[in-house]
Structure 1
């Protein structure tokens, strides 16, 4: 499998740096890296982005997450492997990723659960990370970037 073109973020000067800069703003907010990994994995599953799914799963494993947890991300509601905060982050990830699938894009119960588990800076970081992974997913899906190949 070959990509349709080079990743657009790699084609336009400064695009990768700009996207990475957005990601860097979320560091130091207290949002655990393990939650960021789960968010990246779940959004990438929903969006069918093999590049990001492979990359972020490997990063999560490298950072100490377990295979059992990563295998259960797609069925997180039925799995005992996730904390309340992780469940809130995963629910928010799905709502934001599937924003057009319902009249109320992010239902109050999903929002309230996230707001109960994260302070304002953490919640801001979480929302930015969800948006950012969706950007990367959409770039990769559009050009059909295959996993395991460099840009």
Structure 2
């Protein structure tokens, strides 16, 4: 197991963690389904290899009503029957936004259109902000090797 390289950077800069948490509060205040937010957080964190966020996202998903099958198979959501169409659209958008540099067309129209079919602009805004803040946390935690369970 690798060891932490430094304390969490957001904890070292006064006000940084509070600002990040305020974004999370704003996202939650939109009313977008907490299970959906947790599943997208979990999926982005899996892609980015962020141990603390994977652990946190799995727990958050369970607390918000995700089934054990959903938590266990979110990385293989395309090949399982446990996700509805709106969850699939959100997970596809999550993967595209998290992997922006991997494709010439980072968020293809097909992915965007499917998400827009299931979510209005406010919900899409909340979903995109959730993906972005998750990626922010992942990009703070992974390079500094923050450890799951060490809060």
Which TM-score tier does this pair reach, normalised by the shorter chain?
over 0.9
Deviation at residue 81 of structure 1 after TM alignment: 0.4
Provide Cα deviations, 1:17-69, integer angstroms capped at 9, x if missing partner: 11111112222323100100100100011000111000111122123321111
Query: Which residue number corresponds to residue 95 of structure 2?
Result: 94
State the Cα RMSD in Å.
1.0
Query: Which residue number corresponds to residue 48 of structure 1?
Result: 49
What TM-score comes out, normalization by structure 2 length?
0.96
Query: Which residue number corresponds to residue 34 of structure 1?
Result: 35
Q: How far, CA to CA, are the matches of 1:22 and 1:28 in structure 2? A: 10
What TM-score comes out, normalization by structure 1 length?
0.96
Structure 1 unaligned regions, length at least 5: none
Deviation at residue 85 of structure 1 after TM alignment: 0.5
Structure 2 unaligned regions, length at least 5: none
Query: Which residue number corresponds to residue 106 of structure 1?
Result: 107
- Deviation beyond 3 Å, 4+ runs, structure 1: none
Query: Which residue number corresponds to residue 68 of structure 1?
Result: 69
Q: How far, CA to CA, are the matches of 1:24 and 1:54 in structure 2? A: 20
1:146 is the counterpart of 2:151: no
